[in-house]
């Protein structure tokens, strides 16, 4: 590297737009080298599997490999829509996602607003610390905590139900209750952590807004509906878009660690179905087709929702890109 300052080199390359591409790239030489390992990993491990997606249109044969396996057109997709278990997985995915969207999504907003009203800082900090904790615990652990609490014979929940005169419920093996448990345990695990972004937005509110409202005689509830809620609306929209993009996912780790064959009818989602078909039954091509369908719909969803938000509010900054 020459002794000329990098700054000069950068402005040099900026000012001389008519220079060839290579000349403009030259001052950054070392940076391209630094970019290489990371970019290589992304290309191999993120785009490599995309190359492998072609087996969704082929009959994958381990001996022949991805490239040489014979093309079969849309055979696996036709089979997907003709298989009852597969369409059931699709319906379950959408239902579970929407249940989570309706019931789980507003909870962290509610928590952030409530925490914002708490004046005792020590209590607030302790509450935050404890409520974030479950986010960092794996679903395997959460599943075993749930098994313990919901056990039909000795779990606390069923003991309380029995004390109240009811008969014990086997929540995790009962199709009527399983989705309820999915939603509740999801709220339990993520409510605290998901509230962080909203708390961050709240801490950005100009305190003079509240002071002015108090002078004008606004009650607490009025301050919340007129100042607090509108302030978190943009970030809430962004979070909503992000969750819309995840509608096809529905939470693999959660379902996978909680479900059992007794509740497949309400619990089996696309990802768990792909896992059983692909990695247990080894129908690689068929399960890849199901996975590809899921990814493409997911992609279309994110792009569409993002476009719509941009159309509705072009300068609120709530779009993703």
Interaction residues for other proteins, span 53-112 (CB under 8 A): 53, 55, 60, 65-66, 111
Q: Within a 10 A sphere around the Cβ of 183, how many other Cβ atoms?
A: 17
Out of 64, 74, 102, 137, which residue is the one contacting other proteins (CB under 8 A)? Answer: 137
Q: Is 12 in the site for other proteins (CB under 8 A)?
A: no
Out of 93, 96, 182, 245, which residue is the one contacting other proteins (CB under 8 A)? Answer: 245
Write down the least CB distance from residue 312 to other proteins, Å.
18
Q: Within a 10 A sphere around the Cβ of 273, how many other Cβ atoms?
A: 24
Out of 126, 229, 308, 312, which residue is the one contacting other proteins (CB under 8 A)? Answer: 126
Write down the least CB distance from residue 96 to other proteins, Å.
18
Rounded distance between C-alpha atoms, residue 56 and residue 74, angstroms: 8
The alpha helices in the chain, defined as continuous H runs, are: 6-15, 21-25, 29-42, 48-52, 65-68, 75-82, 84-103, 106-117, 121-132, 139-150, 156-163, 178-203, 207-215, 220-223, 229-245, 252-258, 264-267, 270-275, 284-312
Q: Is 164 in the site for other proteins (CB under 8 A)?
A: no
Write down the least CB distance from residue 37 to other proteins, Å.
5
Rounded distance between C-alpha atoms, residue 269 and residue 178, angstroms: 13
Beta carbons within 8 Å of 107's beta carbon, 6+ residues apart:
187, 191, 194
Closest CA to 257 of 94, 138, 103, 137: 138
Size of the residue set binding other proteins (CB under 8 A): 111
- The DSSP secondary-structure symbol of 54 reads G
**Footprint on residues 277-296 left by other proteins (CB under 8 A):** 278-279, 284, 287-288, 291-292, 294-295
Q: Within a 10 A sphere around the Cβ of 177, how many other Cβ atoms?
A: 17
In terms of Cβ atoms closer than 10 Å to its own Cβ (0-12, 13-18, 19+), residue 223 is middle
Write down the least CB distance from residue 78 to other proteins, Å.
18
Closest CA to 114 of 127, 103, 99: 127
Write down the least CB distance from residue 224 to other proteins, Å.
9
Write down the least CB distance from residue 302 to other proteins, Å.
5
Q: Is 141 in the site for other proteins (CB under 8 A)?
A: yes
- The pattern of x and - marking residues 21 through 60 that bind other proteins according to CB under 8 A reads x--xx--x-xxx-xx-xxx-xxxxxxxxxxxxx-x----x
Pick between residue 51 and residue 98 the one whose CB is nearest to other proteins: 51
Pick between residue 108 and residue 266 the one whose CB is nearest to other proteins: 108
**Footprint on residues 204-233 left by other proteins (CB under 8 A):** 214-215, 217-221
Write down the least CB distance from residue 107 to other proteins, Å.
10
Out of 74, 102, 229, 320, which residue is the one contacting other proteins (CB under 8 A)? Answer: 320
Q: Within a 10 A sphere around the Cβ of 251, how many other Cβ atoms?
A: 23
Closest CA to 56 of 284, 297, 300, 298: 284
Q: Is 303 in the site for other proteins (CB under 8 A)?
A: yes
Write down the least CB distance from residue 186 to other proteins, Å.
13
Q: Is 299 in the site for other proteins (CB under 8 A)?
A: yes
Pick between residue 137 and residue 312 the one whose CB is nearest to other proteins: 137
Closest CA to 118 of 190, 195, 184, 194: 195
Q: Is 314 in the site for other proteins (CB under 8 A)?
A: no
């Amino acid at each position: 590297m020459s002794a000329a300052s990098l700054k000069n080199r950068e402005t040099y390359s900026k000012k001389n737009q008519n220079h060839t591409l290579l000349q403009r790239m030259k001052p950054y030489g070392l940076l391209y080298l630094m970019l290489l390992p990371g970019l290589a990993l992304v290309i191999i491990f993120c785009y490599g599997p995309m190359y492998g997606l072609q087996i969704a249109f082929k009959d994958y044969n381990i001996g022949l490999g991805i490239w040489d396996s014979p093309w079969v057109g849309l055979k696996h997709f036709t089979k997907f829509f003709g298989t009852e278990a597969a369409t059931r997985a699709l319906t379950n995915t959408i239902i579970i996602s929407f249940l989570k969207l309706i019931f789980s999504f507003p909870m962290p907003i509610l928590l952030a607003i409530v925490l914002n009203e708490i004046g005792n800082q020590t209590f607030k900090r302790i509450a935050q610390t404890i409520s974030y904790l479950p986010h960092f615990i794996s679903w395997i652990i959460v599943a075993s905590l749930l098994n313990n609490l919901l056990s039909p014979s000795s779990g606390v929940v069923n003991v309380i139900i029995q004390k109240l005169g009811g008969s014990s419920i086997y929540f995790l093996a009962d199709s009527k209750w399983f989705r309820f448990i999915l939603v509740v345990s999801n709220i339990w695990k993520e409510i605290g952590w998901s509230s962080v972004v909203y708390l961050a937005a709240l801490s950005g509110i100009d305190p003079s807004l509240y002071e002015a409202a108090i002078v004008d005689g606004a009650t607490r509830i009025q301050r919340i509906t007129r100042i607090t809620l509108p302030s978190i609306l943009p970030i809430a929209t962004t979070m909503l878009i992000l969750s819309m993009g995840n509608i096809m996912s529905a939470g693999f780790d959660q379902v996978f660690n909680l479900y059992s064959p007794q509740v497949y009818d309400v619990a089996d989602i696309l990802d768990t179905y792909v896992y059983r078909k692909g990695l247990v039954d080894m129908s690689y091509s068929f399960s890849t087709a199901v996975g590809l369908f899921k990814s493409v719909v997911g992609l279309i969803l994110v792009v569409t929702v993002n476009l719509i938000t941009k159309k509705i509010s072009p300068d609120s900054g709530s779009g993703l890109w």
